[in-house]
Amino acid sequence: MSDIKKVVLAYSGGLDTSVIVRWLQDNYQCEVVTFTADIGQGEEVEPARAKAEALGVREIYIDDLREEFVRDFVFPMFRANTIYEGEYLLGTSIARPLIAKRLIEIANETGADAISHGATGKGNDQVRFELGAYALKPGIKVIAPWREWDMTSRETLMAYCRERDIPVDFSTAKKKSPYSMDANLLHISYEGGILEDPWAEAEEDMWRWSVSPEAAPDTPTYIELEYRHGDIVALDGQAMTPATVLETLNKVGGANGIGRDDIVENRYVGMKSRGCYETPGGTIMLKAHRAIESLTLDREVAHLKDELMPRYANMIYNGYWWSPERRMLQAAIDNSQQVVNGKVRLKLYKGNVIVAGRQSADSLFDESIATFEEDAGAYNQKDAEGFIKLNALRMRIAANKGRSPL
């Protein structure tokens, strides 16, 4: 007899997690609590309630986490200009610590002994969910069915459903997209199918959030973003909540062919994985944030942020959002953002995000110094001679000792 009496399952209502509900009931003889998060995936989440009820679940949580997701996870990440391996905007990665947090909160509320998820043993999500869970509740038991059961394909899962009368629409399951997809307000990802061949070009009808750059409008779209302390607070002069900002940018970006990416990335577990991503709003946010920082941040602060960013990106990608080192870096990043205020004007055109202007009351740009015209003595050009000679001193000494670079 298992000592697990109650489990909180991250439940989508799909085939995999529906099988997991019954599998947990059969193999652990436990009560299952389901938790479905609405983080802007663009699909109805309420039907998960009926599916869970049909499986005998009595405690069902369906939570709208869209504002919390963008405010407390996406926005802090973008303050760091975070990008993994030069391309990936971490859309899946940044959603997992929020889901882990809510799983633990529900476990505490319901007195559950364990949590469970549908992530496979090959991927990153198992690490992200579980590192987060252990950081927030060290003694929690985690059940990862894909690491325990012997089912290896959709066919074996559907056979399990038939054997145990699990209510699944098999016609829908068979017609499912050939891709493994994950969506939230920041992005939608595609893996599997023909994408498992890195040489194969993604099919045009795969993309769901954006038109191709070739099909985008022939006239540019201009938008204006307003920043306060590194976060967008208004779009085209209209104040918006964080989730509304991202939702709106996704629409305008997708309509202009922005945000598609095709990546071969290095998973934390060791393998390389090819995936395609649509991140229209995030692509716009990254360009705009760097533009307002270019005006307001001290040079060395900006350069230090750029040096730290890959470390910060690795922490998020690998599941260390709740770690002390990520929180320490976040404190430094957030401190730098106190002066990141102002407006950025962008031109969106056929897949391109072009900075058309930026302004800030906290700007460090001094036209009287930077000008190529008469500066009225604001900058003494003769000062540059000593500056150059002092910086060349160590190289001059080395060259005099015969250490020529040629």
Q: Cα separation of 372 and 377, whole Å?
A: 12
Sequence letter at residue 160: Y
DSSP codes, 91-104: TTGGGHHHHHHHHH
- State the number of CA atoms in the 13 A half-sphere of 155 facing the CB: 0
Residue 153 confidence (pLDDT):
84
- pLDDT tens digits, residue range 295-316? 999 999 999 999 999 999 999 9
Q: Which of 180, 294, 323, 363 is the catalytic position?
A: 180
Q: Which of 38, 113, 125, 231 is catalytic?
A: 125
Is residue 125 part of the annotated active site? The answer reads yes
CATH number corresponding to 6-66+92-176: 3.40.50.620
Does 26 participate in catalysis according to the annotation? no
Please answer whether residues 314 and 89 qualify as being in contact, where contact means their C-beta atoms are separated by less than 8 angstroms: no
Tell me which of 22, 66, 79, 96 is the catalytic residue.
96
The conformation of residue 196, written as its DSSP 8-state character, comes to G
> For the chain, what percentages of helix, strand and coil (3-state, to nearest 5) are there?
45, 20, 35
DSSP string for 153-185: SHHHHHHHHHHTT----HHHHHT--SSEEEE-S
Average pLDDT for 182-204:
96
Query: Can 6-66+92-176 and 183-297+340-359 be said to share one CATH topology?
Result: no
Read off the pLDDT of each residue in 13-35 and give the average, rounded to a whole number. Answer: 94
Task: Please say if 96 is a catalytic residue.
Answer: yes
* Whole-model pTM over 0.85: yes
Burial 137-166 (b: 16+ CB within 10 A, else e): beebebbbbbeeeebeeeeebbebbeeeeb
Model confidence over 345-361: pLDDT tens digits? 999 999 999 999 999 99
Asked whether residue 174 carries a pLDDT value surpassing 70, the answer given is no
pLDDT value of position 406:
87
Let me know if 16 is a catalytic residue.
yes
**What average pLDDT does this structure show over 233-257?**
98
**386-401 pLDDT, tens digit each:** 999 999 999 999 999 9
Domain 183-297+340-359, CATH number (from 3.40.1050.10, 3.40.50.300, 1.20.1250.20, 3.90.1260.10) = 3.90.1260.10
Give strand ranges (E) for 47-119: 59-64, 114-116
330, 278 contact by CB (below 8 A): no
Grade residue 334 by pLDDT with cuts at 50, 70 and 90: very high
Domain ranges of the chain: 6-66+92-176, 183-297+340-359, 376-400
